[in-house]
């Protein structure tokens, strides 16, 4: 945007939104490099109090909104967003490029019942969308597509044609003619989102914004985008893998506990009815470096296989590579193994992988990560039909985890015979189908595994 004489210039971090008076190479708030960009604040008139000020209202005099949720027509998605989309709400669908955001948006557009949907496809031409729709075998009679990029035109179309659902694919490719800055920048993303938010609220629309994620895992554009919208959905998975997980990171109108699991097929995303065996490889028995845990994904217990490989490093700085678990968490677990159990891995390259492309956020999976590393290090397979559940603390203690009974139930359901759990777990049910082995520290785990 060109600065007019009275306009002020500030510098904003495009990752976290922190503001600076002058340009800096590294954002001191979030630590990102080269993320600070110039932004012009247009001069504002001094404002006095407007004539019609609404006084605050007593909460007991207010009627609850008669908001009816609009089902997407896809049960697995409805569950994640808490029953459906609310009229007048904006939802951000975020994810890495190529993960399936446009696909899921088109499928929603198709299955949502009896609604006029406008799909603003700034990334693909209507012809490309048509090919995609045919591939997805969609019956798209109430779906209209446009390749309009200019926000003012989009708003004009929405105001004149009255769609009920508006999909913007993507928020990083549309732009407002008010500013000279490039699409995808802090200013454009925020201004476009704000305008769309206002029109959505004013007209009771359902708006879906599609947003890409940067390499670092943040939604490109300022964090304010996440704050502005009502719901943030994240579609994740491994590009080399067919499974996709839909998570809700923020939901003003419901829970964020549920996840949806889908399989990407030739004709789009299909809900996975029974995900029990999805994240366990069909491997030959008795391979070393593989362990199984029960991770709570929202309120759903999932059996997940973790694989580790430790190999003597040929470099002075050994490699650490983690796929599916937080890198810093892995480093912490390795430090605990070194300091508390005397297992020095500093000359080993270590690779950890979660089968099926799942990204684990549940600390209860620590025990399985440690077990897999130990198993690879000693080149000794872990006992079969055994699950490992527990969080590892900094002094090497195994900390209790939530939903321990639910997790054990799931292991029993899938025929597991043994489960390692934290020693201070309070189990509600006494079980005969499964042997429960309580461990209080990493050292005790090592001792018990060596007796196997
Ligand atoms: P897409 O929805 O274009 O991803 P995004 O909008 O997040 O960038 O989907 C990308 C990938 O999905 C693409 O590589 C092709 C694949 N795909 C299928 O496997 N099946 C399908 O039915 C469709 C539409 C896409
Ligand atoms: Mg796309």
Which ligand is closest in space to the CA of residue 100?
A: 1
> Which of 98, 167, 212 to mutate for ligand 1's pocket (most ligand atoms within 8 Å of CB)?
98
In this prediction, residue 47 has a pLDDT band, given cuts at 50, 70 and 90, of: low
Cα of 195 from ligand 2 centre, angstroms: 22
Within 166-244, residue ranges assigned H as helices are 186-203, 224-228
Ligand 1 centre and the CA of 241: distance in Å? 12
pLDDT beyond 80 at 142:
yes
Residue 65 has what pLDDT? Answer: 67
Rounded to 5 degrees, what angle do the CA atoms 270, 276, 278 make?
60
124 Cα to the center of ligand 1, angstroms: 12
Taking residues 196-207, report their average pLDDT: 95
Q: Which of 101, 103, 235, 243 for a ligand 1 pocket mutation test, highest count of atoms within 8 Å of Cβ?
A: 103
Q: What is the DSSP string of 205-272?
A: -EEEEEEEB-TTSSBSS-THHHHHSSEEEEEEE-TTSSEEEEEEEEETTS-S--EEEEEEETTEEEE-
- The model's pLDDT over 185-201, given as tens digits with 9 standing for 90+, comes to 888 898 999 999 999 99
Residue 262 has pLDDT above 50, yes or no: yes
Q: Is beta strand 206-212 parallel, antiparallel or unpaired with respect to 165-169?
A: parallel
Cis peptide before 170 (omega within 30 of 0): yes
Atom number in ligand 1 closest to CA 96 = 7
CA of 137 to the centre of ligand 1 (A): 14
Percent of the chain residues past pLDDT 70, beyond the cut: 93
Ligand 2 geometric centre to CA of 76 (Å): 21
pLDDT at residue 48, as a whole number:
72
92, 95, 264, 266: residue to mutate for ligand 1 pocket, most atoms within 8 A of CB: 264
Q: What is 277-450's CATH topology?
A: Ribosomal Protein S5; domain 2 (3.30.230)
- Distance (Å) from CA 95 to ligand 2 centroid: 10
Ligand 1 geometric centre to CA of 244 (Å)? 11
270: which residues sit within 8 A by CB, 6+ positions away?
A: 262, 263
- On whether the pTM is more than 0.75, the answer is yes
Does position 52 have pLDDT exceeding 80, yes or no? no
Cα-flanking dihedrals φ and ψ of residue 10, to 5°? -130, 175
Mean pLDDT calculated for residue range 433-437: 93
Rounded average pLDDT over 44-71: 77
SS3 call for 301: strand
* Most informative mutation of 100, 168, 264 for ligand 1 (most atoms within 8 A of CB): 100
In degrees and rounded to multiples of 5, residue 195 shows phi and psi of: -60, -45
| 365 DSSP 8-state letter | G
What is the per-residue pLDDT for 396? 96
And the tokens for 184?
Answer: 């995808």
Atom nearest to 264 CA in ligand 1: 19
Rounded to an integer, the average pLDDT of 363-379 is: 96
Q: pLDDT for 383-425, tens place per residue? A: 989 999 999 999 999 999 999 999 999 999 888 999 999 998 8
Overall fold of domain 70-273: Rossmann fold (3.40.50)
Collapsing DSSP to helix, strand or coil, 339 comes out as helix
Q: Which ligand is closest to the CA of 103, given by its number?
A: 1
φ/ψ of 322, rounded to 5, equals -125, 135
List, chain by chain if needed, residues with CB within 6 Å of any ligand 1 atom: 95, 97-103, 132, 135-136, 264, 266-268
Nearest ligand atom owner, CA of 170: 2
User: What is the pLDDT confidence band of residue 316, given thresholds at 50, 70 and 90?
Assistant: confident
For the chain, the structural domain boundaries read 8-41, 70-273, 277-450
Q: Which pLDDT band, with edges at 50, 70 and 90, does 240 fall under? A: confident
373 within 8 A of 335, measured Cβ to Cβ: no
Sequence-distant (≥ 6) Cβ neighbours of residue 419 within 8 angstroms: 386, 387, 388, 389, 408, 411, 434, 435, 436, 437
Q: In sequence order, what DSSP letters do the residues of 85-134 get, joined into one string?
A: EETTEEEEEEE-TTSSHHHHHHHHHHHSTT--EEEEESSS-HHHHHHHHH
- Ligand 2 centroid from CA 304, angstroms: 29
Tokens 């993960």 sit on residue = 99
Ligand 1 atom 12 nearest Cα: 100
CA-closest residue to ligand 1 atom 15: 98
CA 216/CA 239 separation, integer angstroms: 16
Q: Which ligand is the nearest neighbour of the Cα of 108?
A: 1
Give the position, in ligand 1's atom list, of the atom nearest the Cα of 123: 6
Q: pLDDT tens, 73-123? A: 999 999 999 999 999 999 999 998 889 999 999 999 999 888 899 999 988
For residue 160, the CA-to-ligand 2 centroid distance in Å is 26
């Amino acid at each position: 945007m060109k600065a007019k004489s009275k306009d002020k210039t500030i510098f904003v971090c495009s990752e976290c939104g922190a503001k600076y008076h002058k340009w800096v190479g590294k954002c001191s708030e979030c630590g990102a490099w080269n993320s600070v960009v110039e932004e012009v604040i247009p001069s504002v008139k001094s404002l006095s109090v407007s004539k019609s000020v609404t006084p605050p209202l007593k909460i007991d005099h207010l009627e609850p909104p008669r908001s009816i949720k609009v089902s997407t027509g896809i049960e697995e998605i409805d569950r994640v967003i808490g029953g459906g989309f609310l009229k007048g709400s904006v939802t951000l669908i975020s994810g890495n490029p190529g993960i399936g955001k446009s696909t899921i948006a088109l499928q929603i557009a198709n299955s949502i019942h009896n609604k006029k949907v406008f799909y603003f496809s700034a990334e693909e031409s209507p012809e490309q969308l048509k090919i995609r729709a045919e591939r997805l075998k969609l019956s798209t009679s109430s779906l209209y597509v446009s390749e309009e990029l200019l926000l003012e035109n989009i708003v004009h179309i929405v105001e004149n044609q009255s769609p009920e659902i508006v999909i913007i694919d993507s928020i990083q490719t549309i732009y407002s003619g008010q500013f000279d800055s490039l699409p995808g920048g802090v200013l454009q993303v925020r201004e476009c989102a704000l305008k769309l938010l206002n029109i959505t609220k004013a007209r009771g629309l359902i708006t879906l914004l599609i947003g890409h994620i940067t390499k670092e895992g943040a939604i490109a554009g300022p964090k304010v985008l996440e704050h502005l919208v009502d719901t943030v959905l994240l579609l994740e998975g491994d590009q080399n893998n067919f499974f996709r997980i839909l998570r809700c990171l923020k939901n003003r109108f419901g829970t964020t506990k549920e996840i949806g699991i889908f399989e990407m097929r030739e004709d789009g995303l299909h809900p996975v009815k029974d995900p029990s065996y999805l994240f366990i490889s069909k491997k030959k028995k008795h391979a070393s470096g593989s362990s199984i845990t029960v991770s709570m994904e929202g309120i759903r217990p999932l059996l997940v296989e973790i694989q580790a490989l430790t190999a003597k490093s040929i470099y002075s700085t050994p490699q650490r590579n983690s796929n599916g678990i937080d890198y810093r968490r892995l480093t912490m677990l390795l430090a605990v193994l070194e300091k508390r159990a005397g297992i020095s891995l500093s000359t080993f390259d270590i690779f950890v992988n979660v089968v099926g492309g799942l990204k684990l956020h549940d600390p209860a999976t620590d025990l399985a990560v440690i077990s897999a590393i130990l198993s690879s290090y000693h080149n000794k397979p872990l006992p079969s039909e055994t699950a490992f559940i527990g969080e590892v603390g900094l002094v090497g203690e195994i900390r209790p985890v939530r939903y321990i009974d639910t997790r054990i139930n799931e292991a029993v359901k899938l025929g597991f015979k043994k489960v390692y759990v934290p020693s201070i777990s309070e189990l509600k049910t006494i079980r005969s189908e499964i042997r429960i082995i309580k461990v209080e520290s990493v050292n005790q785990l090592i001792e018990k595994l060596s007796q196997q």
